[in-house]
Amino acid sequence: MVKVKGIVVLQKKNTLLDFKDLSSSFLDGVHEILLGKKVSFQLVSAVNADPANSLKGKLGKPSYLKDWNTKSTGLAVDEAVFNVTFEWDEEIGAPGALIVRNEHHSEFFLKTVTLEDVPDHGKVLFVCNSWVYPAQYYEKDRVFFTNKTYLPHQTPALLSNYREEELEILRGKGKENAMLKESDRVYDYAVYNDLGEPEKGPEYARPVFGGSTEYPYPRRGRTGRPPLKTDPAIESRLPLLKGLDIYVPRDEQFGNLKMGDFLGDSVKSLSQGFAGLVRAVLDKTPKEFDSFQDVLDLFEGGIKVPQSPFLDQLRESLPSQFLKAITRNDGAPILKYPTPGIIKEDKSAWSTDEEFAREMLAGIHPLAIRCLEEFPPVSKLDPSTYGNHRSSITEDIIEENLDGLTVPEAIERKRLFILDHYDTMMPYLTMINTNTPSKVYATRTILFLKDDGTLKPLVIELSLPHPDGDQFGAVSEVYKPASDGIEDSIWQLAKAYVAVTDAGYHQLISHWLHTHAVIEPFVIASHRQLSVLHPVHKLLHPHFRDTMRINSIARQTALNPNGLFEQAVFLRQYSAAWSSKLYKDWVFTDQALPRDLVKRGMAVKDSESPHGYKLHIKDYPYAVDGLEVWSAIETWVQEYCSSYYESDDMVATDPELQSWWKEIREIGHGDKKDEDWWPSMTTLKDLTETCTTIIWLASAVHAAVNFGQYTYAGYVPNRPTISRRFMPKPDTPEYEEIKENFELAFLKTIMSQNQALVGVSVIELISSHSSDEVYLGQREIDEWTTDPTPLEAFKKFGQTLVEIEDKIVERNNNESLKNRVGPAKLPYTLLYPSSGVGITGKGIPNSIST
């Protein structure tokens, strides 16, 4: 009898969360697994039928984990390698699948199973990457396929039933209305009916988002939580501290390293915030920053927890592990935020007009600026509801700063640009300014492109609804740059109000809605409709890692009543409703970078320009780097998809692909299913453009708007997310305060110290790369497919990204490109593909995981 040796890589349970297991070592668990033949493996033939079931491949004899291989290298700390030996049956022929049974009392993570020398087939690899629960939890055995790739019609006939059965399990067949358990592998949809807590009182109630014309929204993953007894339309919520127990399929939960980093960073960030709150209470102006230096002290001197008998007793009661977690590496009990990049080289450059404008091209929100094509700017709000909202900015206000051009000439030459947060803000201002502590404006900022390629702000318009009603239009004030005196102070405040509105749009729309929320339906549909054998599943799966889990955490901690968004963003209780309103304007195809740039008037098609588009601002770092990354993704996707789809007809007749696309349109984004912009998914071009856009959103766009948050917004005066009072009027105490102490007046206008500490702690957490991050152009396992053409194309993709990194460094060192670094001496690296661990201000992870 021929023996075929195999290697099995397992991972232990996540003991970071399983406190009952903390006392047992991984070694003990290994021995227990080995005892009594508790984990078995059976090969499934891809070519010869099983005598007991002619529709399925022949089953080999069960084989069991045998020896723990302690000499293996290159493993993570929570992984172990075992040997397994199969008695080879020649009638198996080519193995196509593997049945795994776990008779152990606990689950384990099965990473890979490798057969080293299968007769006539050589090495055979099963890439599993899945949690395997005890057999009693499953109605059918767990099945894993080899790393081969098949379109549905190419699947070996004896594997087709296994392929379809796996999809039925993942769709939750028979569990459509059931409570979902940790061991379930169900991917299903639900509306956002889990944000409110009306049982606590009317102020905790929130609308249901999704499923209505009033509140459209992408779908989220179903958790199976029971409805409230008082309102069956609302899903009950878990207590905050149990938020990590909310159901997502176990394979979508954070891995051990990610969870360890996430919990460790959370403890550290929240501890720093707690110490800051203690300091704020003991400050001479409790809960307020007194000066810019007071803000800088968060980073420069750190926060020493004050000495007092009460705090001494509190320290003594804390476990030593916690004290270690909240202290720095030197062991001293000093809580110190890292210095944000925006103030690392120059503590005041953030306040310059040059940096204010540069960050619209190379900050954390370079996706909103657009070319001004009509003057004065005109609102698209319905005049029958909102009246005349034509801008109050006139030509004479800005023409003196156009380097001799008239306004029409500047528009024709593409020299005028606008950051416009007017139409998005105006319908909500009355509610926000009346029902919350926030005091905010609809803003328009017009900028001029100078000869050196930098932008110069010309004017800021701050607008409020007319006091007699929306139908009477707006009341607006216009502010111009000034260099000194009270006029300069007022101008600095005007820029702060712009930063507040832009920060709110950045956080809730560009970041949360346009990446996290809109991608989740693609994640769910891909698992439900595309087999792991499908080439599109293999293409997209790396870009969905951890997204469902991080989104579930956001629903538990950020979007909920008094959650992080409602505490730290000016929209407060209207945060989710505002994002729902703006989802009405979302068009998937417009998320492709070239279309986005053209739509905003920032570029035009030009066959002679790099990547086929000419930028109106040549030194637009986000667009320049972005087009290179986009082009690299597009080329990779085209080469990959064309290796499987030889014709448009193959795309149009692929049943799994068509079911996937239909479900995304009609269910995942079902509130927009009747809009006519959806691609038909009948051509290879449709497929490659769609997949390129999905990957672009999940990787590069999310990186651009997320991983620079601490770098740019960690210093609160640069990117405040709340304003608490309106622009002071002459002859008022607030106006006099500006004259006497501008810094104090500025800080009293934006976020309080408590609000700032919450915001800084959170963005420090989400701006950090975990130690298990997998970046664009990388895969967790090199042999993710057996097909040589895709492997070669992927290798070339990775090499292209390395070349892009070199080009980014070269551009950042080019002093003629003034927008690359700017007055703050902060190079633009947010689209630099690779990164180290922690807060780096660079790196494009494959997926949305923070």
pLDDT tens figures, 393-426: 999 999 999 999 999 999 999 999 999 999 999 9
Tell me how far apart the alpha carbons of residues 484 and 496 are, in angstroms, rounded to a whole number: 17
Q: What is the pLDDT of residue 310?
A: 46
DSSP for residue 398: H
Query: Which distant-in-sequence residues (6+ apart) come within 8 Å of 138 by Cβ?
Result: 183
- pLDDT of res. 269: 47
Contact 511, 767 (CB under 8 A): no
The CA-CA-CA angle for residues 176, 181, 187, to 5°, reads 50
**Token pair recorded at residue 111:** 């990473």
Q: Where are the alpha helices (DSSP H) in 283-406?
A: 292-300, 309-317, 320-325, 341-344, 353-362, 383-386, 395-398
Rounded Cα–Cα distance for residues 540 and 661 (Å) = 14
Return the amino acid letter for 557: T
Closest to 445 measured CA to CA, from 363, 352, 368: 368
Residue 727 dihedral angles phi and psi, to the nearest 5°: -60, 125
The 8-class DSSP code of residue 450 comes to -
Confirm if 182 and 244 have CB atoms less than 8 A apart: no
Round the CA-based radius of gyration of the chain to a whole number and report it.
29
Counting Cα atoms < 13 Å in the Cβ hemisphere of 701 gives: 28
What whole-number distance in Å separates Cα of residue 796 and Cα of residue 635? 10
Q: Which residues pair with 144 in a beta bridge?
A: 98
* Residue with the two structure tokens 């007017």: 422
Which pair of structure tokens corresponds to residue 2?
A: 């021929």
Q: From CA 245, how far away is CA 172, in angstroms rounded?
A: 20
* pLDDT beneath 70, residues of the chain: 1, 12-36, 77, 241, 243, 255-286, 301-335
**In sequence order, which ranges of 102-245 are alpha helices (DSSP H)?**
157-171
Whole-number pLDDT of residue 20: 36
Residue keyed to tokens 């053409």: 789
- Are the beta carbons of 711 and 341 closer than 8 angstroms? yes
Provide the total of helices (H) and of strands (E) in the chain, helices listed first.
29, 20
Q: How far apart are CA 669 and CA 667, in angstroms?
A: 5
Q: Which of 634, 658, 654 is nearest to 646 (CA)?
A: 654
Contact 738, 745 (CB under 8 A): yes
Token digits for 369? 């600026």
Please state, in angstroms and rounded to a whole number, the distance separating the CA atoms of residues 693 and 687: 10
b/e map of 784-814 (b: 16 or more CB within 10 Å)? bbebeebeebbeebbebbeebbeebeebbee
Q: Are 149 and 785 in contact (CB under 8 A)?
A: yes
- Number of neighbours of residue 667 by Cβ within 10 angstroms: 16
